[in-house]
Amino acid sequence: MVAFLAVAVAVAVAVVVEPVDINQNNHYTGLVTKNTKSKNKLSFTKTLLGLSTLLAVFATTATKIDTSLKVKDIIDGDTFITSNNQRVRLFGADAPELGNCYSSEAKSYLESLILNKKVILAEPRVDVYGRVVALVYQNNQLINIDMVKNGYARYEGETSSQKDKFQQANSFARENNLGIYNSFCYQSENPNNPNCNIKGNIEKSIGTKTYHLPNCGEYNRTIIETSLGEEWFCSESEAVKAGYVKSKNCHH
């Protein structure tokens, strides 16, 4: 096993440390980079991503996954613990982090669906954090889809045998303003204090935090999703203190 891991590391470094052409749309390993200042930085990042992918494959093939177990605890709206202490995350269903808008509702709903019940894990895999990620069935009901369709979790485009159903479920929740897409969690205006109208937006895929002033180019199209931890601010200094930087679309 150790020898295989060493080979995986060597292969990852050999395969992915190739130069990156930052003039060709800046796409690599499925992510989009907004910082093109250093080819070395991009190459190093690509190395880490490639290594993580190989390690995830290794973990999946080396770890025996029990696929029929009873649920004994719910961590949040997309993660639970089985009777053998296996930590399982719903594939394709990203629920709000605890403390964010609709997080408690998502956790409670998942409890009502599977707590103290037997579930079947389909298409399981182990991610780089050691968690089992799977399609989860309870009495022939696909829990992942249920969570997304009712607005307790969002679908981020992951590929599986149920991709079309995930897309339809997410569209249904969004179009009907359900759950994380209701007016409390999905806001174009600040309902609590209209004078605090600076929008703090988070680009989840890369973790960047950007704030938008009312005179910024993308302001009207920017939605504050409080289920993602996005915020409203009363001043620029307040936004900066929270770790946000001004949008490049702000010209003043």
Q: Which of 62, 85, 111 is the last residue of a domain?
A: 62
Calculate what percentage of the chain has a pLDDT beyond 90. Answer: 64
88 and 132, same domain (yes or no): yes
Residue 221 covered by a domain: yes
205 and 176, same domain (yes or no): no
> Average pLDDT, stretch 86-103?
97
Residue 19 covered by a domain: yes
Residue 251 covered by a domain: no
31 and 116, same domain (yes or no): no
27 and 78, same domain (yes or no): no
Number of domains the chain contains: 3
Q: Which of 131, 163, 181 is the last residue of a domain?
A: 181
φ and ψ of 152, to 5 deg? -90, -10
134 and 164, same domain (yes or no): yes
φ and ψ of 216, to 5 deg? -80, 150
51 and 80, same domain (yes or no): no
For residue 16, pLDDT beyond 60: no
How confident is the model at residue 64, as a pLDDT? 63
How confident is the model at residue 27, as a pLDDT? 33
How confident is the model at residue 107, as a pLDDT? 98
Residue 27 covered by a domain: yes
Q: Which residue segment(s) compose the domain that 200 sits in? A: 187-246
For residue 245, pLDDT beyond 80: yes
How confident is the model at residue 13, as a pLDDT? 39
pLDDT tens sequence across 180-192: 999 999 999 999 9
Residue 33 covered by a domain: yes
Q: Which of 144, 161, 181 is the last residue of a domain?
A: 181
How confident is the model at residue 128, as a pLDDT? 86
73 and 152, same domain (yes or no): yes
